[in-house]
Structure formats: C-alpha cells, structure tokens
Amino acid sequence: MNTRRLATTGVAIVAALALGLTGCATERDAATPAGDGAATSAPAGSAPSDARAELVAAALKLNQQSVKMTLKSSVVNGSGSMDPAARTGDMTMKMGAEGTFRILMLGDHAYLKITGMQGLPKKWLHLDAAKLGKTGQLNLMPDGDPGGAKQMAESVVEVEKTGAGSYSGVLDYTRTKPDDKAIQALGDKAKAVPFTARADDQGRLVEFAIDTNVLHESLGTLITSYSDFGAPVKVQQPPASDTQEAPQELIESLSS
C-alpha cells in the first residue's frame, strides 16, 4: 500500500470535504437557485447585527433536518446527503487526476473509498471519528454541530443583507480552526475570505459561495447548494469483506 501517497492525498480530502459541507465549490456564474422555496421578503439594508443573526439562523437550520448538497469547483465537484440528527451521510467527490472519493458517515465511524488512483487500496478504509479528534477535519459530524453550521457561523466576521434572502460578507477561517496547519500556512489570507449566501422563504440556507481566489488564484469561487430538506438518508455500512482499517499515516494527516 502506498501509504505516503495516501496520506498526502488526505490533504486534498480535507479541503474538499471539510470545507465542502460548510460551504464550498465553483462556477462564479452559478445562477440556478437551490432549495425549494423563494427568497425571504425582508428588505435589503438590514443593520449588520440583524443580517448576521438572520444568516446564522439560516445556517443553523442545517443541523435540524436532512439535506442534499451539491458542490461545484475548479478543483472538486461532488454531491451527497446528510442527516445531522442520525449523524449519517454519504458524499462523493470527484477531484480530477486525484481520483474520486466517496465517504460514508455512520455515527462515530467513517468509511472512505478512493478510485482512479494507482497504488491505493481498493477496499473501503474504516476510520474511527474519535481518533480524528474534536477538530479532525474528516470528523464531519462532531457532537453538538453535526451539520457543521455552527462552525461556519462562527467564522463569519462581516455580513450585510444585499437583497431578499441574500447576503454578502467576510469569513475568517482562523476563528474556528486556529490550529489547522493548512490554514496557518495561508497566513493573513485566511482571515479575510469573501462570501455570498442565499436563504429560502423558510429561512433555510440554500447556497453558500466562497471567493477563494484570495487564497489561490486557481481556486475560483466555491459554491455549495442545499436542497431536498427532510428527505430520507439511507447509508449502509460496507461489508466486512470489503473493508480494512485506514493506515495510521492517513489518520494522522486527517487529524491535524
């Protein structure tokens, strides 16, 4: 098994999945609304504190019911669904030459499968979420914040309402992951990342777009869309015959 390559690939998984569930993907001109409702009718020009309260409330609703997600980006595209209450999820991420990653979440257990890369295991890799630590970025459904909404809300440092159900502002990644090595490497760039967001007529977050050009010119705008709220999410544990424990090197790369 090429554990060194697998551990290195873990960095890409972290970037795609951890950020993805709390708002990621690209296509600056993505104009098709996600979700199943029209935008809220509150007027534009709300005070910053009111706008922040509305956006935080919309984000926190992602912790309350199941949801489908789609991600679009110049480096990763994916889709999946999660049920925060049951702490279950199923995400597939296509990362070009890096291959395709599928991750299943079942409570404290995660199962990762990588296809399209030579020299890597063909079986599902089992990871114990407890070993990833509270801040481990592949621990996608931590206790108390299974949908990652609180983490996203805490990273918002500036926000204004730009229209009915529309917002724009600035994120500071260092607020929620000050010890993350990848974020530390970005320096001050990680403290001022522009974003836009949209909520539907029920006050639920349906789109979160991050302009990551400020982090690296190749990244473009990362957009996550949320829809199909309340739809059943069924995740089956892979058979034992097709499962092996993830190598320690990968666990360590995903825990930092």
Q: What is the per-residue pLDDT for 229?
A: 94
This prediction's pTM? 0.76
239 three-class SS: coil
Q: What is the per-residue pLDDT for 36?
A: 38
**Would the CA dihedral through 22, 207, 111, 85 be positive or negative?**
positive
Q: Which has the closest alpha carbon to 210: 202, 198, 222? A: 222
Q: Which has the closest alpha carbon to 20: 223, 198, 229, 184? A: 223
What's the structural domain count of the chain?
1
Count of helices and strands (H, E) across the chain: 6, 12
Q: How do residues 27-57 score in pLDDT, each as one tens digit?
A: 222 222 333 333 333 333 445 578 999 998 9
Domain with residue 224: its CATH number is: 2.50.20.20
Q: For the chain, which ranges sit under pLDDT 70?
A: 1-48, 130-149, 251, 253-256
Q: What is the per-residue pLDDT for 253?
A: 66
Give backbone dihedrals phi and psi of 62, rounded to 5 degrees, phi first: -65, -15
CA distance 38 to 58: 14
Range of the structural domain that residue 250 is part of:
3-29+37-255
